Structure 1
């Protein structure tokens, strides 16, 4: 006489047995870790204002530091928008359809390393796409109407 066992139950038992077998004799099971932000992330930000004045600051994350005016918030925002496999600082696609609005002559240059990748990019407010790209990274970059602060 055979006992009917649903396929899912057999699969679950097999998987449990395999997992137990992997840990047998190896001491305590190691915790599974999810990849997180890479330590030592460091960015140099240079914001050029309309009148030609330039503000420069450094941001370090993991742990937060540097002379950025709000390092903790800037690091938190970068962690929030960083998606593994996607370039957080990617330029606007050349074929993007953008609104014809002008957000002012302010520019920013960001260089350094983030999430284990080199960064060397420029931000403008030349059209709707560029404005959205800039605004996505506030407070790393100063918000519209906010003066750049930090070491000059």
Structure 2
């Protein structure tokens, strides 16, 4: 039995195979063959600053720690209940979905801890981030607009 393929069949198979980086053909919801970005939905929580660590004076009334704040951020298009959704999505896109980035901002050495959490999906990839920062200046310098709410 002869096991060769005719040249015309091989050429047809080669031409029909998708190429790396090719855009999909035009279709419903895909104008001009543009790739549709994977969804981004991230739940963001900020807790703190924490209550004072020193004992209050007898005359002072005790205060409780500020309640945690939670928002949902969606991107492509920017939305959710994050007040700076467009800037937060731009920051995530600039860092390839990493919540934290390098910063050379100098912050005051005041310890007033803030804990943050991000859980969700950025462009189809899972996001899970928890960190405590020494103060809100450090938080803003390292996370940009992501936790600015």
With normalisation by structure 1, the TM-score equals 0.52
Mark the CA change 1:81 to 1:37 in structure 2 (over 3 Å): closer, same or farther: farther
2:112 pairs with 96, 104, 109, which one? Answer: 104
Cα offset, 1:68, TM superposition = 0.1
Asked whether the 8 Å contact 1:39–1:61 carries over to 2, the reply is no
CA contact (8 A) 2:44 2:118 kept: yes
- TM-align CA RMSD: 3.9
- Give the conservation status (yes or no) of the 8 Å contact 2:92–2:99: no
Deviations 1:2-56 (A, max 9, x none): xxxxxxxxxxxxxxxxxxx99xx88xxxx855xx894310000011122231111
State the partner residue of 1:48. Answer: 47
Q: Is structure 2 residue 94 aligned with structure 1 residue 88?
A: no
**CA, structure 1 residues 38+124, in 2 after alignment: closer, same or farther (shift >3 Å)?**
farther
Highest Rg: 1 or 2?
A: 2
Q: What is the TM-score normalised by the length of structure 2?
A: 0.53
User: Conserved in 1, the CA contact under 8 Å of 2:71 and 2:82?
Assistant: yes
Deviations, residues 128-148 of structure 1 (Å, cap 9, x unaligned)? xxx47x623210112xxxxx4
Contact 1:37 / 1:115 at 8 angstroms: preserved in 2? Answer: no
Equivalent residue number for residue 69 of structure 1: 83
Q: Does 1:114 align with 2:122?
A: yes
